[in-house]
Structure 1
């Protein structure tokens, strides 16, 4: 959403293939929708991988050309066979880096590397390999569910039932 009075003409001219128009907001402001080339999983060139792990901002080359290769994989579990290529490539997932992510290359565990500070990525070797990235819900989700169940049980048992009176004969 652009600020009031901005129509986004310059932006659409500069990066026409990366944005599309969207319906205006209720107060009339212009809205542009990002249309990235890549899907949920991409293979990033060594040059862009360096930007990703060093904290540099992504360059516009990242969105087009040979800097990235879209990968046919869906989250939360991605199983990808990568071909031989240059050292330093990254497999980047459109997912937030948080506890619960794990990765293997040819069955061997490898570390998850944060890309651009918050995305999940895995360094890909030069040789042809099978890369598997999985997300397993961390224990805090299970513990939160148990806590909610305990609270619900406590509330339900604390509500008084009908009082029974004994009859005298």
Structure 2
């Protein structure tokens, strides 16, 4: 199976905001960014049949809907759940709690949220599931930077604590072609 992980396009008004599950508006450049993603896919992707999945977040769904294929929404592709912190400015979060989470974000959970390990588990569950269903096919997944980093880190020989060293710009496409075992 070939898996193409696509990060949603840019958002606006989210600077300094802790947003994972919070819906944030797309940037005014959405149409141009979506066209660039389609053009990049056109040069690297074989003609259909391929299968398209997306995070239920609006920023992912809208990009997926421009790809002219049926979209299956899968909550396992959702961004990290920051729980009580989601939707609040980073600067407004309790400093001690934030520092504790930052010291071990792989295992620590924000209040009412999930750890990076929790996100990794559901991302790997998604991959194992689609690999069984589409063993010889191509799967596109429109998702978030956290999911992409969680899946790429072990496949690039990185520990999860180093996952955020992987650049994942808005609208970027990351190919994984292998047995998909981490």
> What is the TM-score with the length of structure 2 in the denominator?
0.23
Using CA pairs under 8 Å that are at least 6 residues apart, name the structure with larger relative contact order, 1 or 2: 2
- Say which structure is richer in helix: 2
TM-score normalised by L of structure 1:
0.25
Please identify which structure carries the higher strand content.
Answer: 1
